[in-house]
Structure 1
Amino acid sequence: MSDLLRMLTLFRFGGIYLDMDVVLLRSLEQVPFNYAGAESDTHVAIGVVSLSPTGFGHEFAASCLRDFQLNFDGSDWGNNGPGVITRVAQRICDTKNITMMLEDRKRCHGFKVFDRKAFYAIKSNDWRHFFEPEFLEETLELTRDSYLLHVWNRKSHQMPMKVGSGSAYARYARLHCPRAYKAAGEYF
C-alpha cells in the first residue's frame, strides 16, 4: 500500500520521495527531477524517487499507477514496489537492461536511473555492514560517493545501534543527523 500511496502523492504533487530508513549524506535539491536508483542489475528501486509535478514526471507517475492497476499482486511485495518502477522504466527506456538505462539518459527520455552506489551502495543482503564495526572501513569506502544510505529497515529494524559504537551507521548518523543522534539516549 505504501508504494501505491507514494506514487499517488508524486502523481498529484511531484517532488522527492525518500524511504524513512535513509540517512541523507548530500543534498538532492540540485539534482534535476525525474530519477530513481538501480538497486541491482535487474531492478530499479522505489525507495528514492523524484518526479516533476508536470510534464514527463507526471506522465511517469501516471504510467506507474496504470501498472499498479494491471499488475497488482497483494502476495508479492516486490511486484508492487520495485517491480512497478522497473517495468515502467523498461518500457520508457525501451530496454530491460539496467546498465543501458544507466549509461544513456536520452534513451530514457530524461528519466535518470542512478547506479547502485548513489542510493543502495550496500546491498540488502549486506545490511549488517552498517551496524557491525568490523565493516566500518569497507562500508565507508563503498558509500563515499553516495547521496544517501539506505539501511534496509525491513531487515535491520531489530538491530540495536548503540550511540558511540564504531559502526558506519553510528558515524554517519552522528555527522548527518546530529540532533537526532544526540537526543537518542543510549541507542539510536
Structure 2
Amino acid sequence: MVSPTEFSLPAFPKMLKKMYKKMFDLRKIFHGPKMPIFSAISFAAIFFMLYSGHLFAGPSSTGSTALQEPALPAVTELPQLNTHMNINREDYDDDESEVVDPLVPPQNVTIAERIEWFRRKLPELDLLNSNELSEKFHGRVVEFFNNNNNCSVQFYMVWLSPAKTFGPREFMSMDSLFHSNPEACLIIVSRSMDSKHGYTKLKPVLDLGFKVLAVTPDVPFLVQDTPGEDWLEDMKSGTRDPGYIPLTINLTNLIRIAMIYKYGGAYIDTDFIVLRDFSELRNAVGAQTMDRMTNQWSSINNAVVVFDLGHPMLLEFIKEFSNTFNGNKWGYNGPAMFSRVCQRMGRSLPSYNVTILQPKAFYPVDWIQIRRLFRKPTTGSQSRWADRLMVELQDSYALHLWNKRSRKLIIEDGSVMDRLISEHCVVCQHINHA
C-alpha cells in the first residue's frame, strides 16, 4: 500500500489544463451530455502517454488515492514552506461561480479605483454590519445549543450564496454528516438559508429529528475582541483594498474561524461526504499534501477545522487573516493562511495541542483524480480499484469532493460516489445519475 506522503502530482501544462477544462465543462449537474470520444490524433496519444498513469490507472507510487494503514498519525514535522508563495488558483476550492454577489469588483481597474468603488458600495454590504435580524444571532445560537445540550459534535457550515443554490450536492453533505454523527448539532451560518425557502430545503432532516439551525450571521459580533475587528473596521471605512476576489469568499474564511473561536466545534465545507464520527477529534486540521522526499506536510487546507472554544491557535489564524489580508490571491486568506501560521508556529505547535492529520483524514483523493469516483467501473481492474478504495476510505473521516472540479460531473450508477452516497445517507434525496 502506498504512503500518503506520495500524494503530489506533476502540474498540467497550460495547454492540457485548457483541454481538461473544456472536457470537464461538458458535464452538467442534472442533464449533462456524455463525454465525447476523442479521435486518435497524436495530441491525444501524447496526453494519454503522459498522464494516464495519474488519471486512470489504479493506485501507484504517486497515486493520491492510496491510503496507509488504519491509524491516522499526526504530522508533526515542519515543512520548509515559502510563506510568501504565490497561490495557484487551480489548487484550491474557492469558486466564484458559486457566489452570487452583486458587489463583485470591476475588472481591469487600479487599486485606488477599486477602493473608491468599494467605498461607494459600502452601504449595500449588509454582511459587514449588524441589523435587526443579525443582532439575534448570538441569542439564537446559545438557545439552540442549550436546547440541545447533548450534541455529540457542534458542526458549522457557512452558506453566503442564495438558498436556491443550496442544491442536492450540498444537501448530501448535510445528510452524510447526520448519518455518521446522528447526535450532532449543525448550524448553517447563512442569511439566505435563514428564510422560508431555506427552511423548505432543511425540512427533510428536521422532520427526522436531526438538530440543524440556519441563522443570519452578525459579523461585527463574531470578530469582536479579536484581531478581526481591525480588518472589519478597515473594510467598513473604505480604506482597504477588497481585491478582485468576491468578498463573500474571504468572509467565509473568516467566519468559520470566528464561529469556532466563539463556540467551539467543527467547521466543514459543503462539498464533503462525511464518513465517520467526529466526536473524538480535538484541535485538529488536515494536511492536504505531503512532501514525498521529507515526509512532511507541504500544505494544509481549511475545509475542515476542529477546535475547542477559545483555542489560542484560532486567534493566530484570525490575526494572520487580518494582518496579511490579500483579496487578489486565491486561497491566500484560506488554505495558504493556515499553512503560513502552522509553519511559523514551528515547534511550539505541540504546546498548543494542535494535531495536523495526514491527507487521508479529509483529503484522501486529490482534486486531479476526483472524477474517477464519479465513473462506473467498466473493466476488471477498475472494479478492483473501486473496491479497494471503498475499503481504504473506511479510515477517512470525510471525503472532500473538490466541488470546483466535480460539481458538473454526473454520478454514474455503480460508481464509487454512487456507492458512498447509498452507504452514508439518511434521507437519500436524489442527487443525479447518468
TM tier relative to shorter chain: 0.7 to 0.9
Structure 1, residues 46-105: CA drift from partner, whole Å, max 9, x if none?
011101103xx2x1111111111122221222211111111111122339xxxxxxxxx7
Give the root-mean-square deviation of aligned CA atoms: 2.1
Select the residue among 289, 300, 304 that pairs with 1:44.
Answer: 300
Query: Which residues in structure 2 correspond to 1:11-160 (within 5 Å)?
Result: 11-31=261-281, 33-41=282-290, 42-54=298-310, 57=311, 59-94=312-347, 106=350, 109-134=352-377, 136-160=386-410
Computing the radius of gyration over CA atoms, which structure comes out larger, 1 or 2?
A: 2
**Secondary structure of residue in 2 paired with 1:144:** helix
Asked if 2 retains the 8 angstrom alpha-carbon contact of 1:122 and 1:142, the reply is no
Match of residue 184 from structure 1: 430
**Unpaired stretches in structure 2, ≥5 consecutive residues:** 1-249, 291-297
**Secondary structure of residue in 1 paired with 2:289:** coil
Asked if 1 retains the 8 angstrom alpha-carbon contact of 2:275 and 2:394, the reply is no
**Unpaired stretches in structure 1, ≥5 consecutive residues:** 96-104
Does residue 172 (structure 1) correspond to residue 420 (structure 2)? The answer is: yes
Asked if 2 retains the 8 angstrom alpha-carbon contact of 1:17 and 1:48, the reply is yes
Cα distance in 2 for residues equivalent to 1:186 and 1:169: 11
Aligned length: 170
The alignment's TM-score, normalised by the length of structure 1, stands at 0.81
**Secondary structure of residue in 2 paired with 1:133:** coil
Runs (4+) off by over 3 Å: 185-188
The offset of 1:168, in angstroms, is: 1.1
The alignment's TM-score, normalised by the length of structure 2, stands at 0.37
The offset of 1:3, in angstroms, is: 1.0
Asked if 2 retains the 8 angstrom alpha-carbon contact of 1:131 and 1:168, the reply is yes
The offset of 1:123, in angstroms, is: 0.7
Identity, % of aligned positions: 26
**Secondary structure of residue in 2 paired with 1:122:** coil
Cα distance in 1 for residues equivalent to 2:406 and 2:339: 24
Q: Which amino acid aligns with 1:39?
A: Q
